[in-house]
Amino acid sequence: MKYQSQKVALYYFGGALALFVVQVLVGTLAGTIYVVPNLLADVIPFNIVRMIHTNALIVWLLMGFFGCAYYLIPEEAETELHSPGLAILQFWLFLAGALAAVVGYLFHIHVGREFLEQPLWIKLAIVVVALMFLYNITLTVLKGRKTAITNVLLLGLWGIAVFFLFSLYNPSNLILDKMFWWWVVHLWVEGVWELVMASVLAFLMIKMTGVDREVVEKWLYVIIALALFSGILGTGHHYYWIGTPAYWQWIGSIFSTFEVLPFFAMVIFTFTMVWKGGRNHPNKAALLWSLGCSVFAFFGAGVWGFLHTLAPINYYTHGTQVTAAHGHLAFYGAYVMVNIAMFTYAMPQLLGRAPYNQVLNMVGFWVTSAAMAFMTFALTFAGVVQVHLQRVLGMTYMDVQDQVSLFYWFRLGAGVFVVLGVLMIVWSLVVPGARTREAVGYAPAE
């Protein structure tokens, strides 16, 4: 850490990790309701549980991105943050808004579009928080050094804010509602979020491998070009069956097939950089998370996305557990892991320590990743059986669900291990122990 104001990132990392625990606990509850359906049915219906699970995920990932930006931007721009006080105020506002939303959900205060269940006043508060954030980081970049990493990160973060505005548009025509709902959901996770992910990975590669910035930044532009060239028109794979014209089947199939490429490029990029750099960076855990991120994103977002993206296949798989399998592994691989990679790298720096609890952190990595992989397989098998019974043979939905209940037990088992792994990761990050950097004679690599 070179700039005092980077410390504001600690608030965001802490808040994100707390919500991460909430997210996986509530996810486990949802997985339990799948196999013990009467559980809590009269107290907290499944829709509320699911709402909290997905919203907690989205909020903690965004909180993590904010933290990543506050850590990364002063160091890249080589200047203190424009206003650390505003950043801290922004954190508390965001956390208060998130908690108010969750408590409200428990009392059935919500609106009703998937992932966008926040009442209008919370959506507007999110816009205010986003403006505070963008003002702060944009002014910081403008007064400092401009690098490809800060350019791409800023573009991604501005994109997040701009596309969120479409959440305020809710026409009574369901076709239009769905079309523009995807302008938030798809253009986030298969668009501008990839810019954030790629720029954070590029930053970590520069810091940890010692490869020349010129090389890393060229890779960065190639990766994000692949991401947006495929991802923008790849939105078409959500426009197959919602009342939109048939040409989307061609456009969506072709372009979303190419959405595998940026994730493949990220695998090649991270492994090549680590191999070429040859530097023995002391933070092994952060390196593991960075490499793991590109690999799991490739499988979760890339391969599992491609599995059901072609229109003739999606005709049968659309809205089944195949989608759930892809959703879980994609979010984990791409966005959970990039956040944990950055937290693992940055927290020792922010706390002025040598990398700590690395073994526990890496055990947490393997437990969580193996459990997420197992969960994905379980849901994929459930989905394939569901597709055959329901979409080919025409059995009714509930009869099919009884047939696949074994896979839901497997999923729940995997979920319990995810919780264990996440607790290890969180413990390893937030309980640094007593040994300081000076005590072990640690000199930062960079």
Partner 1 sequence: MSETLTKAAARNIFYGGTVFFFVIFVGLVAQSVSSAKTIARANPITPSVAAGKQVWEKHACIDCHTLLGEGAYFAPELGNVWVRFGGRQDPVAAREGLRAWFAAQPSHVEGRRQMPQFHMSAKDVDNLIDFLKWTSEIPTQNWPPKVSG
Instruction: Say whether residue 443 binds partner 1 (CB under 8 A).
Output: no
Q: Pick out residues in 232-291 that bind partner 1 (CB under 8 A).
A: 232-233, 235-236, 238-249, 251
The nearer residue to partner 1, 398 or 434, going by C-beta atoms, is 398
In the numeric block, which tokens belong to residue 200?
């954070």
The binder of partner 1 chosen from 48, 184, 267, 337 (CB under 8 A): 48
Are 41 and 118 in contact, with CB atoms under 8 Å apart? no
Query: Smaller CB distance to partner 1: residue 230 or 358?
Result: 230
Q: Which of 117, 113, 238 is nearest to 170 (CA)?
A: 113
Among 107, 397, 434, 441, binds partner 1 (CB under 8 A): 397
**Which positions from 118 through 147 interact with partner 1, judged by CB under 8 A?**
none
CB of 323 to partner 1, least distance (A): 7
Q: Which is nearer to partner 1, 6 or 54 (CB)?
A: 54
Segment contacting partner 1 by CB under 8 A, of 87-95, 202-210, 218-226, 429-437: 218-226
Q: Is residue 162 a contact point for partner 1 (CB under 8 A)?
A: no
Please give the DSSP secondary-structure letter assigned to residue 393.
S
User: How many Cβ atoms are within 10 Å of 359's Cβ, its own excluded?
Assistant: 10
Does 51 contact partner 1 by CB under 8 A? yes
Q: What is the DSSP string of 169-182?
A: ---SSHHHHHHHHH
The answer to whether 223 touches 267, Cβ cutoff 8 Å, is no
Q: Which residue among 229, 264, 299, 410 contacts partner 1 (CB under 8 A)?
A: 229
Minimum CB separation of residue 63 from partner 1 in Å reads 22
User: Binding to partner 1 (CB under 8 A): which residues in 363-392?
Assistant: 390-392
Residue 38 or 280: the one with the smaller Cβ distance to partner 1 is 38
User: Exactly one of 99, 103, 111, 440 binds partner 1 (CB under 8 A); which one?
Assistant: 111
The reply on whether position 94 binds partner 1 by CB under 8 A is no
Work out how close the CB of 21 gets to partner 1 at its nearest, in angstroms, rounded to a whole number: 21
**Alpha-carbon distances, residue 187 vs 199, 317, 381 (angstroms):** 17, 22, 28
CB of 297 to partner 1, least distance (A): 19
Q: Closer to partner 1 at the Cβ: 91 or 219?
A: 219
Determine the angle formed by the axes of helices 46-77 and 120-143, rounding to 10 degrees.
10
Q: Where does 188-259 have alpha helices with state H?
A: 193-209, 213-234, 247-257
Among 174, 406, 431, 445, binds partner 1 (CB under 8 A): 174
Residue 267: how many CB atoms within 10 A of its CB?
A: 18
Instruction: Using alpha carbons, select from 390, 218, 196, 391 the residue that is nearest to residue 297.
Output: 196
Torsion sign over Cα 183, 190, 410, 55: negative
For partner 1, the binding residues in 12-41 under the rule CB under 8 A are 33-34, 37-38, 41
Among the listed residues 257, 240, 231, the one whose alpha carbon sits nearest the alpha carbon of residue 312: 240
User: Which residue type does 2 have?
Assistant: K
